[in-house]
Structure 1
């Protein structure tokens, strides 16, 4: 049962980008190394004072990221028992912070991403109060805009976002996998954008019906552009856009694709 609870808590922390305060693992360590110590009350269900102090030291270490052996408070524990508990928490928790996602997830920096076709990724900053953004896409390229759009080659990449939030620089890392396997089975539709560059009207010629068309700027921000279907083409008014690089995304048969174009 203890192993099952451990697996479920670890999975929940991974899924929700949270941290774990591994009281159960410290209890197991002490029960193995110091079996004479009683962690339960006489009902064999509720924790004893010693068991509760184990939880307190564990939460202290997980929340404040401090070495528990520097704590001088013993409560009602003897000095010997308090030292056993503090050293156990240090061995299990403090010396293995990354195992419990403490240094990984307890940071101000947050971001999410969406793969909008086989190799184009939209990154979205979710950091609260961040004032600067430094992206490392893991392929040798970087960006300082808040919500970048990035095109990858096939492979696995560690994406890092470092922000200055609340006066503190913190970094969040996520691994993304880009695969183009199956491109022969899921090929892009016949899709032509012109003129290149475009000035007032962007024209799209395709033999397929498209839906969910959106235009994003280089920061990944959606723009307001009207489109009409005319002479077997989609005509999109872009005269209000400022010159620069943009991306048009569209959906066909439930798959999202992306194309780049230039507004002059």
Structure 2
């Protein structure tokens, strides 16, 4: 029995299908020519088995092979692999924590009554949303990635008719996953708004045959705390090359 929805496991398994060039208990490397160019090195560390899976485009594998990685004998460490990536000019972007709803919590989420202070935002709420954005910092806006034009948007509207917290989702990479962004105004934090709006948008995703995907940088404790408070569990850590990386 899987801990998370099968669609979660199926999406991530598909990235690591290909010709295996290295495998041990802690590390595996495959060549997958179907990877997108900007994800030509994809690394996933799953917490359930503490295994790090690496998928490479053929060009990246060839460059690593030219410096003797993975090699023909002896164990390859993840540290050595990462050193090799730097040697061939590939710098990995900061990892994202990947959180999903565990199967054991699904029924409780779906049965939970809708909060009175959370509602779906529509196109005619554009001015409300714009005013909300104007009260948030540029840093918070960049980190949250919440948009009124996303697939579905939900928000908490206060007694003064101002938006205090919002969450939006959009389909992820053509899969049955809904990536989510959450933003709460600094002045409104500590009231549970983000947790309620996150759980509400998660129910919307599930009732529309998608699984909620929550990503957080490893060095963002507030974001990690929100995922945990909402009942999501850590699936793994995902890395791709920095946009400025050159092979």
State the TM-score, normalized to the length of structure 2.
0.26
Q: Name the structure where helix makes up a greater proportion of residues.
A: 2
- The higher radius of gyration belongs to 1
Q: Name the structure where strand makes up a greater proportion of residues.
A: 1
Task: Compare relative contact order (CA 8 Å, sep 6+) and give the higher one, 1 or 2.
Answer: 2
